[in-house]
């Protein structure tokens, strides 16, 4: 009887293992769908133009395939490349076919949205301008700001020509000097205030703020 019970138990264990194996195979081979947001990447933008508007920054796609194939598909590895060579200033439309979006083996792209890209191009402008440090707060009592040095003192700004021409200076992000009683040096990013303008190089500057006692300043002036 003991031998028969052991045999029955072994059959049950084997049946469970086979059922699990069949379930795993079925899960790996059965088709399913998964959505992804694929970023749009523009290539070959003419040097005299910049993109100032687009109806979307990503294409939403649905990929159908086996669970195993979709499991190995990473959304951040996908991109939708659009070649815009030869475009002119103004608005342009581009179709969004499914073929350029590569899917892994065992999967395919079954839908995408939107089906068209609407992109606006404007003339590029470039301008060299001075950098001004934006100081916030006041030094410690009895001290004052003696001098502010920015390195580099001037930067090259580029972008949409209409926005570049409106700029007279490049201003740093706010630098808090509240309570300071000695010289300080900070690295600060530039805040151009425009949507389609940027600094070519560098994207940040070094700001050195010299702090001195007010009495010393008075003595120096008297001498």
Return the percentage of the chain with pLDDT > 70, whole number.
Answer: 77
> Quick one: average pLDDT of 25-35?
63
Full-prediction pTM beyond 0.75?
A: no
138 or 17, which is more confident: 138
Residue of 106, 105, 109, 12 lying closest to 59 (CA atoms):
109
CA 162, 166, 169, 175 torsion: positive or negative? Answer: negative
CATH architecture, range 133-222: Beta Complex (2.170)
The answer to whether 31-123 and 133-222 have equal CATH topology is yes
The confidence score (pLDDT) of residue 8 equals 57
Q: What pLDDT, in 10s, does the model give residues 147-182?
A: 999 999 999 999 999 999 999 999 999 999 999 999
The confidence score (pLDDT) of residue 211 equals 94
CB 125 within 8 A of CB 96: no
Residue of 36, 35, 42 lying closest to 80 (CA atoms):
42
The confidence score (pLDDT) of residue 147 equals 95
Structural domain boundaries in the chain: 31-123, 133-222
The confidence score (pLDDT) of residue 28 equals 45
The confidence score (pLDDT) of residue 75 equals 61
Q: What pLDDT, in 10s, does the model give residues 80-114?
A: 889 999 999 999 999 888 666 666 677 777 888 89
Q: What is the CATH number of domain 31-123?
A: 2.170.120.30
């Amino acid at each position: 009887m003991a031998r028969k019970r052991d045999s029955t138990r072994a059959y049950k264990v084997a049946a469970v293992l086979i059922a699990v194996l069949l379930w795993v195979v079925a899960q790996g081979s059965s088709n399913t769908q998964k959505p992804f947001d694929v970023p749009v990447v523009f290539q070959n933008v003419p040097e005299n133009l910049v993109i100032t508007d687009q109806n979307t920054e990503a294409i939403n796609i649905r990929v159908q395939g086996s669970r195993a194939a979709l499991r190995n598909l990473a959304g951040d590895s996908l991109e939708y490349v659009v070649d815009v060579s030869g475009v002119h200033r103004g608005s342009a439309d581009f179709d969004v076919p499914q073929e350029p979006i590569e899917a892994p083996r065992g999967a395919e792209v079954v839908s995408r949205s939107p089906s068209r890209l609407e992109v606006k191009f404007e003339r590029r402008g470039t301008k060299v301008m001075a950098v001004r440090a934006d100081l916030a707060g006041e030094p410690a009592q009895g001290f004052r700001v003696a001098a502010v040095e920015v390195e580099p003192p001037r930067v090259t700004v580029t972008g949409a020509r209409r926005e570049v021409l409106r700029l007279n200076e490049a201003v740093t992000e706010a630098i808090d000097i509240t309570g300071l009683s000695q010289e300080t040096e900070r690295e600060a990013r530039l805040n151009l205030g425009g949507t389609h303008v940027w600094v070519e190089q560098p994207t940040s500057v070094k700001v050195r703020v010299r702090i001195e006692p007010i009495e010393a300043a008075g003595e120096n002036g008297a001498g």
